[in-house]
Chain A
């Protein structure tokens, strides 16, 4: 069900899924009705830009500016596709 990331996709969290900062565990979480997904590393920073307004190239652009030298252009679209395949992003 994974489709190639298209440039006009503006990812947003699926309804009823929350991005939460867990202060106790110092991590970002995706909270679903029956499960919690721990977002390690910079995954939270990526998901935070999935607000339905940013296109994938815009997300890549913002992250590249924040994390110079990181393989953002290759890794971020793959990560977003994985989250879409799980049904967490639309």
Chain B
């Protein structure tokens, strides 16, 4: 994962609540075995509509997505995060998020900035006033800022996610620091394994 410190870019106001991961990337796209190229599928069912905000030329090239409450609920598909990032988004600002989506985002370096409903409404209004305004999301100071409007809000990120974003740490590498503890846990664990469940053909043995 690449380290992330400050994201600075123009923002798109999605202005929809309950945007589940099926909307972010429809299931038809999930058949691919690659990790790249999902940007074309982002919100694909909505992008056919010429009035959909992502089709509005004044928001082209934006890196900040501003959404309504409960963004990223539903399916565990990490493809939703890959699609947002492949399209060019580096951060999503919303009043609340689905848990798994939030987790998946942290693994890829997509910054999840949670602000109150009111703050998000204010931010959306500022973007509508002037879509060329820069929005700054600072992972170091945990602040969202619209410098030109003198608008500044703080957001909360769990300390470990913040550290990982700032350092670009690989999660698996971090866990493997504890390999000794994992091995010692395994030597005392009684949890059953699948050993002895199959015959040579891979069929489950019946008792």
Partners in one complex: no
Q: Which residues of B contact A (CB under 8 A)?
A: none
